[in-house]
Structure 1
Amino acid sequence: MDRQRRRFLGASATAALASTTVAMPAIAQSSPEVKWRLTSSFPRSLDTIFGTALQLSQMVSDATDGKFQIQCFPAGELVPGLQALDAVSSNTIECAQTCTYFYIGKDPTLAFGTGVPFGFNSRQQHSWWHFGGGDQIINDVLKGFNVYGIVAGNSGTQMGGFFRKEINTVEDLKGLKFRIGGIGGQVLAKLGVVPQQLAPGDVYPALERGTLDAAEFVGPYDDEKLGLAKVAKYYYYPGWWEGGPMIHLIINQQQWDKLPKHYQAILRNACEAANNWMLGKYDSVNPPAVRRLVAQGAELRAFPQPVMEAGYKAAFELYGELAAQNPNFKKALDSMNAIRGEQLLWWQIAEYSFDSFNIRTRGR
């Protein structure tokens, strides 16, 4: 009996070893070494946004034992920040960290991928992307540029920016030279604003010289880095053109298709984790930053309700014009409008009621 048992164990061990020697090459083949470069549309100094790309890269490396490497480059080191889509489309760079609304000149529908004025907040935008058809709508457009997009960040609601003068009426906007781009700039142009697109490093001297009257960027933590409170006194909120702007990882379609399925899954999950990391980081660093800005002389101002109402009217007038010209834009607009109404009803019942009470009782 013992002899039979020893023979059985010996045979089992031999079989196990044989299966291991067969399986190891199969595993190695399914987990190839992949090295990508990522170009960001943001400078290294924006350590939360660019830091999100670094976090994503590290998570992918950790999950693959270093076999899938993504090397991150800030804007300008490989290609200019606003040329990221072109670089990925042509396979010059495998992937990029960018905002789809930078490319509305190619198709205005891409504005919805990041977020549009008076659209969603961060959680609503995220819900629309994953459960409201946003993923398919935006990726159908991106497919025409040979890229695939995955959500990989959100800043939360942004500030309205620094202004050299107070904004009390809609008339005060007329002729205002405002550093703002994208579809938000197009909406404000309807109210008489002169939109300007400037690189972050050029904003401070332009405000100081008076060639700019106002500038918006992101929120307190990033705005503080630009030193704008020293040359523009009034700090307005909210940034109604960016209520919950998403950032995406866009990937060359052929590079995406070549990835093993489990690498694709790892990358998707890393992007989702990076999205949460970025939003959590901003929620942590913005509160003390706004206190520091006020201590430096910034005066917080809420946009007057007539300005908000005029902005809302101009935004949806513009959307109607664009929807009449572009079927993709109309599809995205119809999707947003249908879901936005439902989301806001629920928000009013639960989130808004809870937040409002906590705000009223803050400091008790």
Structure 2
Amino acid sequence: MKVPFLDLKLVNDVTKSEMSTAFNRVIESGWYIQGKELEAFESEFSAYCKTEYCIGVGTGLDAIHLLLVAYGIGPGDEVIVPSNTFIATWLAVSRTGATPVAVEPDLQTYNISAESIEAAITPSTAAIIPVHLYGQPADMGAINTIAKKYKLLVIEDAAQSQGALYRGQPTGGLGHSAATSFYPGKNLGALGDGGAILTNDSSIAKKVRELRNYGSPLKYQHDSLGYNSRLDEIQAAFLRVKLNVLDAANGSRKQIAQRYTEGLKGSNIITPFVPEWANPVWHLYVIRTADRDQLQKYLKENGIETLVHYPIPPHQQKCYTNEVTHTLPIAEKLATEVLSLPISPSMPMEHVDYVIDRILNFK
């Protein structure tokens, strides 16, 4: 049996007809950038996330970066980021000239440890960027309490958590503002790159709209040194279609995650821990084992594709080795032990059961 990690063709086949209609609608409109499709998607997605504003941009990395710029964060500032995350969270901070300050994760959830944040705060700290890693919310209540105490901004990196809930509230509206990604493999994935900013702050929404479009509030008027980072009409149209099936797709992921957790119970595999206040959307189902490399090799030999998120922590990447000289042992430990099992809304349960069976038979 062959079990792919993620078959995007099968995922998109569910809405193929509706996306074809959306594609033709955009072609016939003759308007391809910052038009009615983007406006409609921004309205629909902000309603879904229960925020006042959504601003579509080119990528998830751009979304974080533009938010930091809009808030005036730059050289001399420090921004607290997780040590265990995709490098985009760090890169966005570095783009502004600010310094990313890594805080280790909680070993149960793999999200940034709220208890460890306070020790990393200095007079130069300007913001905290918690990442809702693998589709599970970070402990936003505890993080917001610390941020309020020290008068810090909280910018959610919600790139992996579209539809996830923290104490019943959607991610994306739990801090001062949030950034998300519509990379094709995300729970809400476009058919190309894309991202968005979510906020309840009208002044930040206005600033980001200008920044994404050459710093221009009006055509040929440029009030700031802006960028070119816009969510195309065609991707907005596709995302409108896929937003309609997001909850159903997330429900399928939850069923698969439950099957994995039940099936692997009693084994020597560490399965994901979910706090009682979290309702994750299972962007990834990540297990841990000291025999990760051998298990991954064995599963590949049995036709099962797995991935490692992430094999090299940001602080050990070449672009940061001169800036981060101390060790981050928890992130480094996770990088050698985590393994992402196949999961997607289109994954048949027989594939899930086969993966479980092979893991249980691993010696």
Q: Where on the TM-score scale, by shorter chain, does this alignment land: which range? A: under 0.3
Rg bigger for which structure? 1
The two structures have a TM-score, normalised by structure 2, of: 0.28
The two structures have a TM-score, normalised by structure 1, of: 0.28
Higher helix content, 1 or 2: 1
